[in-house]
Amino acid sequence: MTNILPQRPDNNRGPWVKLENFERSLAVAGNELYIYAGAFGENDTIAGGKVNVPKTFWKVLVVIRRGNNDLSRINAETRTIAVCMPNRQGIRNRDWRTFVTSIRNIESATGYDLLSELSTGIQNALETKTDSEGTGTGNPCD
């Protein structure tokens, strides 16, 4: 149970599952995906205060064509998708694309240093861009 996070039904059955379906379509289309995911913040607790119900769920995807030597095939043009989704009711019908953000915004919110195995130049290029499919405005990690 150490890697299970309680997700509100409207997030889990709405934009989060829609993003997971999109991820599957990318894989079926011949891509490999590196997926990093987690949560931060606190809405409330359950189980007598022993389990935190996160305020926000986040996910980062690094998308590359199937092949060998993955690290060497990641460059500044590699597609990355980063999202921060609120863990609350009332968002079931929202498109996951409205929660697109930059990897840098997720790093700021979590304190993590993602993609740290890449060169500084490639890391900066990937972490500061926002996927072109994003339709939201602002920083959903706030």
What is the number of other CB atoms lying within 10 angstroms of the CB of residue 39? Answer: 20
Total count of domains within the chain = 1
Mean pLDDT within 32-43: 95
Mean pLDDT for the chain overall: 94
What is the Cα–Cα distance from 15 to 43, expressed in whole angstroms? 18
Q: What is the pLDDT of residue 18?
A: 97
CATH number for position 52: 3.40.570.10
How far does CA 105 lie from the centroid of its chain?
A: 11
The answer as to whether 75 is a domain residue is yes
Domain residue limits at 114? 9-128
Cα dihedral 118, 119, 120, 121, rounded to 10, equals -110
With bands split at pLDDT 50, 70 and 90, how would you rate the model's confidence at 2?
A: low
Q: What percentage of the chain carries pLDDT values higher than 90?
A: 83
The answer as to whether 63 is a domain residue is yes
Query: Among residues 84, 109, 80, which one has the least CA distance to residue 15?
Result: 84
What is the Cα–Cα distance from 120 to 122, expressed in whole angstroms? 6
pLDDT beyond 70 at 53: yes
pLDDT beyond 60 at 4: yes
What is the Cα–Cα distance from 112 to 48, expressed in whole angstroms? 29
The answer as to whether 137 is a domain residue is no
